[in-house]
Structure 1
Amino acid sequence: MIRRVFLLLCTLLAPLPAVALPSFAEVRSAYRPSEATLLARDGRPLHSLRVDMQVRRLAWTPLADISPALLRAVIAAEDKRFMEHGGVDWLAAGSAAWNNLRGSRTRGASTLTMQLAGLIEEDGQRRGQRSFFAKIGQSTAALRLERSWSKGRIVEAYLNLVAFRGELQGVAAMSRSLFGKWPHGLDDRESAIAAVLLRAPNVPPETVARRACSLLTELQRADECRGLEAFTFQALNNNLRDLRPEAPQLAPHLARKLLAEPGRDRRSSLDADLQAFARDALRRHLSALSRQNAEDGAVLVIDNASGEILAWVGSSGDLSGAAEVDGATALRQAGSTLKPFLYAQAFERRLLTPASLIDDAPLSLDTGNGLYTPQNYDPEYRGWVSARHALAGSLNVPAVKTLVRVGANAFQDRLKAHGFASLKEDGDWYGYSLALGSADISLLMLANAYRTLANGGRWTPLRAVPARDATVPPCRQGGCEGVFAGQPRAVDTPAAAFLVADILADRAARAGTFGLESWLTTPYWSAVKTGTSKDMRDNWCAGFSRRYTVAVWVGNASGSPMHDVSGISGAAPVWREVMDRLQRAGTASSTAPTAPPAVVGRDIRFEPAVEAARREWFLKGTEMGVIRAARADTLARITYPTDGTVIALDPDIPPDRQRIPLRLSAPAQRGWQWQIDGKVLARASNPASWLPQPGRHQLSLHDARGKMLDSVDFEIRAMRGKARQTSR
């Protein structure tokens, strides 16, 4: 009688949305673990990351991988006649209805199938409701489930979808978190604890232990009650245990950037073996530097042709006090790593050749706010040195003099074209220190800029996923800005890029600073440059072979300085170890690149013999056989105002207080003159200033014979006067 009444009510009152029930395959397909996994380029797991912070779910567990002890305990605790009924336990339902009519409290009559129907209900809002009509809806759905699903699939789906305690959902997350094992290994005692949590997930441990003991007694396992309360307390207070993922956890920083959807794995461009090697190389070397306050670092490896990132190591892991900070994207001072781009621009504009002599001597430049006096890394000055030796030996004074020739604004524009999007100010804002790396950059920007040199001056964006997959930029802001997006473009000419690469590969040219044998000297062709920022807070090593670019940063995420750690001792050993590993793989060419058509070789000698005679490369049309020190008139350049400067006059400041100082990069010779718009203004050998007039002007420097040595164009703008306030 009770069964017929229930069937009639189920037919008349069941809500329409319950008619369309998903299949077992659809439920399993829609299941999403709270984690996602970053895959290597060959599909191997690299790093698993929890993405869904609402619930904690692991991968779906098949019925065959669930302990029989847990199945017995759950059926005994939740649905004793599960194997006998067709979705609704009519005896339990009748007993519950009779007790409700009598007004007494009773245990619910929901079967496992009815509970499963509630778990997979689309809106999820009816879950846990005990109203009469809610029971009717669950009963209807349960009857349909039993007609289309097997008992095994019902219990499998139930144990994967049900919540056990707190955020733990599904048998795998419960078993791993509470007991530190997979579901197939659960014993009788553990299964009893898990089963009683289903009805009251968040009751105190002593209550759980008491109910679990009752269940064990019912299952004729009463001997398992000995020590159960202490065991239960330990298990339930370990529910924050880290669920160790199956992936090797090799790329946390890239994983956080690429993984966004629960349960959705993402294939990256990373090489799993190379990623592990680069991480281990960095950690090994930093361990050796621990007494010198160097605890963090980052490594990037890029395929020159495709732009695919093959290794992305963002930190040293547990060696770091800030392991979450991604050293590949953090903005830090560049040190000497920007010098190659400065010399490439000077070569391209034919302001210098690799053989040009530059005076490495004490230098003071007037900045308007005081004197700027650059110094070399070591306190000595070399006198006349070629641009080749100045760049390879990372000499600071010649770099600043080269910047004076190129112009700070022009150099800043070139750096922006190389992908250094973090340079937000114009060149004059950075001033002469831009030649020595005062600007903040990221390792990602630096690596791709060096890759641009390796590719003959052609810039293309990087990729963090294989070329065959859709482009997925892992990040767009901060140190990632402009790295993964942008149109391919020619930045340096192939000839200028070749000259710089040849210098950076010249073991003899760098010997004066680094010695013939150093971490930079490889038995195969490679071009490399180091850099160290102020107070040894950061050091860098970036370089490339014919096929790969490797960039390394070593420092501290906190920004604290290291103790006597330079680019050659900090980052260079890691760079060399990774580059050697790439070479051993047999995929990198060991021969030097061929000179492009616009480059010619010439035997040269120096008068006087400041450097040994050698074979040198030149841009076609700039070659010469005898190199002599430059005269003073070839060294002097106008440093203020710079070309293109716009100066605004303030009407509230007296005109005499707005005079513009005229400055040179080197002392003026006797008879030199300043001219404004073709008219003689003053002698250049004495301090001079000019009372500005609105309009466009040309300032030029002339020698004693009237020959123009340098000129700049600039503009003076007059601001309107402020409105005067009057009173009556």
Structure 2
Amino acid sequence: MAGTGKRRAPLVVDRRYANTTGAPKKAERRSSAPAPRGPRRKRGLIGGLVFGFFHLIWRIVWGVSWRIGAVVAMILAASTFYFYSTLPPVADLLDGRARGSVTLLDREGKVFAWRGETFGGQITSDTVSEHLRNAVIATEDKRFYRHFGISPRGIASAIRINLSEGRGPLSGNGGSTITQQVAKLLCLGVPYDPKAWKSEAEYEADCRTGGVWRKIKEVPYAMAMEAKYSKADILTIYFNRAYLGAGARGFEAAAQRYFGKSANQVNPSEAAMLAGLLKAPSYYAPTNNMERARDRARVIIGLMQEQGYLTAAEAADAIANPAHLSPAAAARAGGFFADWVMESGPESFTSKTTEDVVIRTTMDQRMQKQAEEALAHVFATKVKEGSQAQAAIVVMSADGAVRAMVGGRNTDGAGSFNRATQALRQTGSTFKPFVYAAALNLGYSPADFVEDTPLTMNIPGSGPWTPQNYDKTFKGLITLTEALAESRNIPAVRVSEAAGREAVRQVAQGFGIQSDLAAGPALALGASESTLLEMTGAFAGILNGGSAVEPYGMVELRLRDDPMPTFTQTGGIQQRVISETAAQYLTYMMAQVINQGTGTRAKLDREAAGKTGTTQAARDAWFIGYTADYVAGVWMGYDDNKPLTGVTGGGLPAEIWREVMMRIHEGIPARPLPMLIPEPRLPPGQSGAAPAREPAADPIENILRDVFGSFTGTY
């Protein structure tokens, strides 16, 4: 009872049935059954059939789907495990080039050109500039640190963009993550085999191709990389293997190539420009189109700001102060020179090198730029607009060290046709100095006389041959100096026949003219072919006192990581061809070409010697000459060998030569030429002085007479 403080007794239901072990009665069974749900809705015959059909389809689809999914998952897991087991250590993947590179230095040790694919050295994602790392992630894969190798959202977005722009679902934007891009760079683990591919470029093009199968294979490979390597490792591979235009493989090489600094020193604007190259390296290369590269960089700076890598103030500063090329990259000088060095050097260390090679050259970047500017100036001011005429220039020292080379008007065209070294053209009157060199070497004097009178020679097998002077006139008895200064053809033939064609041929070949020389008397008139480099080198031999030179551009070759050079060269002077006296006399004679002869338009503010040359129908025009310091050669003509209009060697080529020499001699004190002035002589037959020798015109007469004797008659 309440209030007693005792516990209430439990309530117990009265037993209604005595027999607890027996089966419950019917009423008890009903009380234990669930409550009725109400009347069930009848579907009818058609509804039941439809429901049953779709229910069956669903069960089939579900059954097939989960089985296919399970199979795909197993295949994906097996493929991922397979690729995982084949992935090497990160350090083995940083330099994937099949060939090496060549870095070319000028005479002062400064880089001016690169060839091959340059690898600037291994870098890591931790050592590069923070701005560069952020720029790459903001541009290429903003969810890089959150995905497992592939980005379904990125792929779906790329498919949507491609379809909206009328392309195939996997054409154009691929939605690739950085990990997938690295998988492409590694060619999904397939190494380059020179036997299976025509070139490394073809192999890499195949590795970059898209397509469904390629995308499918990328997935397990990318996932294997994510499992094998850290995010930092994947970025490191990417930073070292990505191609970034202009032959730069990896961001370190690209930073050095474009900005002259390491990838760990680039600022936000430079980092944005480098990251922009990933989309289309050649198209956005700043050496190709700086404005286009800067436009792309501005887009990336905006992405960096949007994703929080740059503040608004930092982004504004980066846009206001865009990246600039280094002086070497901006100059883009010496492309033809670099090509020539690569061609003339040993293939195993140049075009086919598997190592990284550094070559120090003779090139002077200041002179190279001045030569290019001089050529551009003359064509801009003296040549009619739209002219397709070409020109080439070579500048060298007296020992054959080439200082500048212009192989054509398009100075940006590395790898293009080099007219200074590859074009074999008739030399015309620039060959005449070798004729007079042969005579001077036999003891003739510049003051000796030769007849400029009509001459007809009978050429066996060809008949009569009658050379003509350029002006179709004759001057009678003139000195050898006058004959050369005025580039008279008939005297040149007479001197050649007197000295002997073989002597002339030996002199020309001795000075480095390597092509076949004409066998007949037209040899004296430059009927043979040569290159501008050969001809300029031959004139350098006259300047240095009569010794042949081998034009050279390579001073030292070494492997990049080896301080000791593999190859060195200190000079190109070789054997003596003519006496020093003959060389100095010839210099005097060629000085008169500029002072009072056909080359007056080449006159400088210092002593200079040279020779004009114009071939038949004016297909080639030359001027080659020198001061006490440098030799320069100029050629002008058309690539298709059609005649020039109103151009001779004493015209535009002489003016180009003058512009070049004026510029390269700025700040250099004038020095006298190494020349001998001959004692004047009276014409043969006049009294009061020893008679001058007169070279014979007839080869038979030349044989009969002592070439050291006096010729007093005319013939």
Fold match, TM over 0.5?
yes
Please say if residues 539 and 567 of structure 1, whose CA atoms lie closer than 8 Å, have aligned partners that are also in contact.
yes
Alignment of structure 1 residues 567-586 onto 2, 5 Å: 567-586=649-668
Please say if residues 492 and 525 of structure 2, whose CA atoms lie closer than 8 Å, have aligned partners that are also in contact.
yes
Q: 1:145 to 1:299 in 2, by over 3 A?
A: same
Q: Tell me which protein shows more strand as a share of its residues.
A: 1
Q: 1:122 to 1:308 in 2, by over 3 A?
A: farther
- What is the Cα deviation at residue 360 of structure 1? 0.8
Which one of 434, 454, 460 corresponds to residue 523 of structure 2?
A: 434
- What is the Cα deviation at residue 123 of structure 1? 3.6
Match of 1:370 in 2: 463
Match of 1:394 in 2: 487
Match of 1:81 in 2: 146
Determine the C-alpha separation between the residues in 2 that align with 1:163 and 1:287.
37
Determine the C-alpha separation between the residues in 2 that align with 1:27 and 1:545.
55
Letter in structure 2 aligned against 1:347: L
Please say if residues 390 and 408 of structure 2, whose CA atoms lie closer than 8 Å, have aligned partners that are also in contact.
yes
| TM-score computed with the length of structure 2 as normaliser | 0.60
In percent, how many aligned pairs have the same letter? 23
1:295 aligns with 2:389: yes
Q: 1:15 to 1:291 in 2, by over 3 A?
A: closer
Alignment of structure 1 residues 440-459 onto 2, 5 Å: 440-459=529-548
1:421 aligns with 2:522: no
Higher relative contact order (CA 8 A, sep 6+): 2
1:250 aligns with 2:355: no
Determine the C-alpha separation between the residues in 1 that align with 2:485 and 2:635.
19
Determine the C-alpha separation between the residues in 2 that align with 1:60 and 1:330.
47
Match of 1:158 in 2: 238
Which one of 398, 403, 424 corresponds to residue 304 of structure 1?
A: 398
Which one of 639, 642, 645 corresponds to residue 557 of structure 1?
A: 639
- What is the Cα deviation at residue 498 of structure 1? 1.4
Please say if residues 296 and 557 of structure 1, whose CA atoms lie closer than 8 Å, have aligned partners that are also in contact.
yes
Match of 1:672 in 2: none
Q: 1:291 to 1:582 in 2, by over 3 A?
A: closer
Match of 2:614 in 1: 532
1:519 aligns with 2:601: yes
Q: 1:601 to 1:256 in 2, by over 3 A?
A: closer
- What is the Cα deviation at residue 311 of structure 1? 0.7
Q: 1:30 to 1:110 in 2, by over 3 A?
A: closer
Determine the C-alpha separation between the residues in 2 that align with 1:494 and 1:362.
34
1:186 aligns with 2:186: no
Alignment of structure 1 residues 171-570 onto 2, 5 Å: 171=275, 172-174=277-279, 177=283, 180-181=293-294, 185-187=298-300, 246-258=329-341, 260=351, 267-291=360-384, 295-305=389-399, 307-317=400-410, 324-350=417-443, 352-368=444-460, 369-423=462-516, 427-428=518-519, 431-465=520-554, 467-469=555-557, 488-506=574-592, 511=596, 513-514=597-598, 518-570=600-652
Alignment of structure 1 residues 57-136 onto 2, 5 Å: 62=128, 64-66=130-132, 68=134, 71-72=137-138, 74-75=140-141, 79=144, 81-82=146-147, 116=182, 119-120=185-186, 123-124=190-191
Determine the C-alpha separation between the residues in 1 that align with 2:439 and 2:137.
77
Determine the C-alpha separation between the residues in 2 that align with 1:109 and 1:280.
47
Letter in structure 2 aligned against 1:441: S
- What is the Cα deviation at residue 420 of structure 1? 0.9
Q: In structure 2, list runs of 5 or more residues that go unmatched.
A: 1-69, 152-173, 193-206, 251-274, 285-291, 309-327, 343-350, 560-569, 707-711
Determine the C-alpha separation between the residues in 1 that align with 2:244 and 2:99.
15
- What is the Cα deviation at residue 627 of structure 1? 2.9
Match of 2:674 in 1: 593
Which one of 696, 699, 703 corresponds to residue 635 of structure 1?
A: 696
- Higher alpha-carbon Rg: 2
Q: 1:462 to 1:701 in 2, by over 3 A?
A: closer
Please say if residues 391 and 419 of structure 2, whose CA atoms lie closer than 8 Å, have aligned partners that are also in contact.
no
Determine the C-alpha separation between the residues in 1 that align with 2:573 and 2:598.
38
Please say if residues 80 and 220 of structure 2, whose CA atoms lie closer than 8 Å, have aligned partners that are also in contact.
no
Paired residue secondary structure (2:331): coil
- What is the Cα deviation at residue 432 of structure 1? 1.0
RMSD of aligned alpha carbons: 5.3
Letter in structure 2 aligned against 1:366: N
Determine the C-alpha separation between the residues in 2 that align with 1:523 and 1:411.
33
Please say if residues 537 and 559 of structure 1, whose CA atoms lie closer than 8 Å, have aligned partners that are also in contact.
yes
Please say if residues 296 and 319 of structure 1, whose CA atoms lie closer than 8 Å, have aligned partners that are also in contact.
no
Match of 2:348 in 1: none
Count of residue pairs the alignment pairs up: 519
Q: 1:133 to 1:279 in 2, by over 3 A?
A: closer
Q: Tell me which protein shows more helix as a share of its residues.
A: 2
Determine the C-alpha separation between the residues in 1 that align with 2:601 and 2:124.
50
| TM-score computed with the length of structure 1 as normaliser | 0.59
Letter in structure 1 aligned against 2:146: R
Determine the C-alpha separation between the residues in 2 that align with 1:252 and 1:570.
24
Determine the C-alpha separation between the residues in 2 that align with 1:255 and 1:133.
42
Determine the C-alpha separation between the residues in 2 that align with 1:291 and 1:14.
64
1:21 aligns with 2:89: yes
Letter in structure 2 aligned against 1:338: F
Determine the C-alpha separation between the residues in 2 that align with 1:461 and 1:580.
25
Q: 1:71 to 1:184 in 2, by over 3 A?
A: farther
Paired residue secondary structure (1:81): coil
Paired residue secondary structure (2:229): helix
Match of 1:723 in 2: none
